[in-house]
């Protein structure tokens, strides 16, 4: 492709190189079904703009005191970082006021916030996943999911946002790493765009990303091994057998970054439940379900160790769940190990 400098190089094993230089706005418009109103397209464009704004701050975090803590403890009991606060405010202000988003659920807000009561969509998001890594300059990311309300004329009710991930109409993430990438799906495959900071556009990079059949990595925090259920130890033993795939262990401490690398190279990420914390750490609504939606769109799966994450209906905005995401065969094997043996 002569138009790009430097050439983006070959696509990942499980993807296609974008054929032409295309912005995410143009790609969304071209992908939009003929009968669509364009509302979801413009909502996703708002998220892309939020990603640009957050990326610009993330790039300069070390220079503008955005590193470090906001001096507030959030609903999760975690120290809010200034970038958490900024990312949450940017997403909320860009998504509200256009008659597109009825309500927004955020990791950083104890309660759901109603934006435009008679709007058709609900957004769930983790504005800055992995924020404990900000000071260490490790990749972090924004995770989002979009539901379409069954009756936009009705009063907003919690069944508008406490829904199984299978009801999502879109999901994705913005990864603030060595480059800023927006990866999303509207149910027609997974597509990746790279932010060109000089142009200020997310440019098409890869389309139809799928987990490669031959996985390369598994992502587990082995510091927690003594606290894991026996099913996890059986899975680790399976991983280390001579007759099973040889995978390398890579764990960044930022689920979006681990997920992204495993999507490109094949693998499985896990944050298991523990004996004294069987619900695990990650949140179902705005972490597990949106990433499971993407995994399924890329030929993989998301599971809590027994059930597909997309089939779990949350009962609380911030409920936690064990999360396993990646190649379907690896997630299937993990479930077999949890179900007492292979």
Which H or E element spans position 142? Answer: strand 140-148
For residue 140, give the 3-state DSSP assignment.
strand
- Minimum gap (Å) between residue 281 Cβ and ligand P6P: 5
Task: Count CB neighbours of 159 within 10 A.
Answer: 11
β-strand pairing of 101-106 with 113-114: antiparallel
The answer to whether 115 touches 94, Cβ cutoff 8 Å, is no
Choosing from 129, 160, 304, 335, the residue that interacts with ligand P6P (CB under 6 A) is 129
C-beta of 96 vs 280, nearer to ligand P6P: 280
Q: If residue 268 lies in a helix (H) or strand (E), which one and from where to where?
A: strand 267-271
For residue 56, the tally of other CB atoms under 10 A from its CB is 13
Interface positions, 214-253, toward ligand P6P (CB under 6 A): 221, 253
Q: Min. distance of Cβ 21 from ligand P6P in angstroms?
A: 32
For position 132 contacting ligand P6P by CB under 6 A, the verdict is yes
- Report in angstroms how near the CB of residue 138 gets to ligand P6P at its nearest: 10
254 touches ligand P6P by CB under 6 A: yes
Question: H helices of 34-122, where?
Answer: 39-59, 82-95
Least separation in angstroms between residue 228's CB and ligand P6P is 12
Judged by CB under 6 A, which stretch of 26-34, 38-46, 127-135, 205-213 contacts ligand P6P?
A: 127-135
Comparing CB distances to ligand P6P, the nearer of 231 and 280 is: 280
Task: Calculate the alpha carbon distances from 61 to 64, 68, 81, 202, 240 in Å.
Answer: 5, 9, 11, 21, 40
Q: Which of 50, 122, 232, 282 binds ligand P6P (CB under 6 A)?
A: 282
Give the total of residues touching ligand P6P (CB under 6 A).
10
Are the C-beta atoms of 101 and 43 separated by less than 8 Å?
Answer: yes
Our CB check for ligand P6P shows the closer of 27 and 259 to be 259
Lay out the site mask for ligand P6P across 156-195 (x = CB under 6 A, - = otherwise).
----------------------------------------
The residue among 143 and 337 lying less far from ligand P6P, judged by its C-beta, is: 143
Residue pair 122/102 in contact by the 8 Å Cβ criterion: yes
Report the residue from 120, 130, 272, 300 that binds ligand P6P according to the rule CB under 6 A: 130
Quote the least distance from Cβ 74 to ligand P6P, whole Å.
12
- Told to check if 331 binds ligand P6P by CB under 6 A, we report no
Cβ-based nearer residue to ligand P6P, 161 or 271: 271
What is the residue-wise DSSP string for 159-221?
GGTS--GGGEEEEEEEEESSSEEEEEESSS--EEEEEETTTTEEEEEEES----SS--EEE--
Task: Supply φ then ψ for residue 207, to 5 degrees.
Answer: -120, 155
Chain positions contacting ligand P6P, by CB under 6 A: 129-130, 132, 221, 253-255, 271, 281-282
């Amino acid at each position: 492709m002569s138009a790009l400098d430097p050439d983006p190089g070959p696509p990942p094993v499980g993807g296609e190189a974008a054929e032409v230089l295309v912005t995410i706005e143009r790609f969304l418009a071209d992908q939009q079904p003929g009968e669509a109103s364009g509302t979801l397209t413009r909502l996703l464009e708002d998220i892309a703009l939020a990603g640009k704004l957050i990326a610009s701050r993330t790039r300069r975090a070390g220079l503008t005191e955005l590193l470090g803590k906001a001096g507030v403890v959030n609903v999760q009991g975690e120290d809010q970082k200034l970038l958490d606060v900024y990312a949450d405010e940017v997403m909320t202000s860009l998504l509200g006021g256009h008659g597109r988003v009825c309500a927004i659920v955020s990791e950083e807000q104890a309660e759901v916030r109603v934006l435009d009561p008679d709007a058709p969509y609900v957004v769930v998001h983790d504005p800055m996943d992995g924020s404990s890594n900000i000071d260490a300059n490790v990749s972090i990311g924004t995770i989002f999911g979009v539901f379409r309300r069954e009756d936009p004329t009705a009063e907003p009710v919690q069944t508008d946002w406490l829904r199984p991930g299978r009801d999502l109409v879109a999901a994705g993430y913005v990864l603030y790493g060595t480059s800023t990438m927006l990866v999303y799906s509207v149910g027609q495959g997974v597509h990746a765009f790279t932010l060109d900071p000089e142009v200020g556009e997310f440019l098409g990079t890869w389309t139809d990303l799928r987990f490669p059949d031959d996985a390369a990595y598994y992502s587990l925090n082995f510091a927690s091994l003594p606290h894991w259920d026996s099913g996890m130890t059986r899975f680790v033993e399976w991983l280390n057998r001579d007759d099973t795939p040889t995978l390398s262990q890579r764990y960044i401490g930022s689920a979006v970054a681990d997920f992204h690398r495993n999507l490109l190279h094949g693998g499985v990420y896990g944050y298991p439940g523990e004996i004294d914390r069987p619900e695990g750490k990650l949140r179902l609504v705005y972490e597990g379900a949106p990433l499971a939606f993407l995994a399924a769109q890329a030929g993989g799966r998301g599971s809590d160790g027994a059930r597909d994450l997309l089939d779990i209906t949350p009962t609380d905005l911030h409920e936690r769940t064990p999360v396993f995401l990646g190649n379907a065969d690896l997630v299937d094997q993990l479930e077999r190990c949890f179900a007492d043996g292979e």
